[in-house]
Amino acid sequence: MKPLLHTLLAGLALTFMSSAMAQTPVPELSLTGQPTRWLIHNEPYRATGFGRAVWGLSPEAARALIAAEYPAALASLKEAVDPVDRTLGMAFVVPALPPAGGAATISYVFGATSRTLVAVHVAWRLEGQPTDEERAQLLKAGSALVADLSGWQWPLLATTRGLVTGPGALTLFTGRDASGSAVEVRLTGMAFDVERRGAPDRRPAPAGPASLHYSIVAKIDSPDVYRIPSGAF
């Protein structure tokens, strides 16, 4: 159960946004996977969850939603309470999910206090040694997610794009809406170009798996996790 739920139970921290950038004096940037066209929505982006799984959903309602929308995934459903932050994690595997098309793990996180939905993480993973073509399809799917997000209006300085976070690791997009909810699209196991003054520096994909992660988190600065009461020690 632990490997399946690792992403979602660590997800309230994410690899997210300014904390990662603050530790990197000169972040490396890449245009790989960045869309050049998108549909303009002419209204602010509001993170409310993923599909019909919206903030405030109870675990009971989430189980009913999974049964209705992903009946084939019920056999894979696993639940666990994180012993540290006391959030409830619920993870299940769907056989196919756009835009990547392949199997995906959808993970719901329910707050320690509210016990309602506070985060959703979706992960498409290619095991073993994916081909260049398979990695390219995953990159294309990530680009499609970013294209949709790019068409919305965002608060000033609330988004980042193309941040290199490690070997084969690329955060395509992070954004924070006006309510403080956040979204992130990131890739691992990818080849990409790092921007330089001259020609871009080509970084090959590392050996091993590749993955695409799409995370939506409510109230990123004040997550609903357990905190030791003041004066407890």
User: Which tens digit of pLDDT belongs to each residue from 158-216?
Assistant: 999 999 999 999 999 999 999 999 999 999 999 999 998 888 889 999 999 999 999 99
Nearest to 109 by CA among 69, 81, 84, 83: 81
- Rounded to a whole number of angstroms, the CA Rg of the chain reads 18
In this model, does residue 7 exceed pLDDT 90? no
* Bigger pLDDT: 101 vs 60: 60
Contacts of 160 (CB under 8 A, 6+ apart): 17, 21, 171, 173, 174, 175
pLDDT (tens digit, 9 = 90+) per residue, 32-53?
999 999 999 999 999 999 999 9
Distance CA 157, CA 175 (A): 9
In this model, does residue 100 exceed pLDDT 90? yes
Nearest to 212 by CA among 159, 174, 169, 152: 169
How high is the pLDDT of residue 200? 85
Distance CA 196, CA 183 (A): 27
Answer yes or no: are the C-beta atoms of 92 and 11 closer than 8 Å.
Answer: no
Can you tell me the mean pLDDT for 1-5? 42
164: left (phi over 0), alpha (psi -120 to 50) or beta: beta
Distance CA 127, CA 107 (A): 19
In this model, does residue 22 exceed pLDDT 50? no
Can you tell me the mean pLDDT for 95-117? 96
Per DSSP, which regions of 74-199 are E strands? 78-81, 88-94, 104-110, 117-126, 159-166, 169-176, 182-188, 192-194
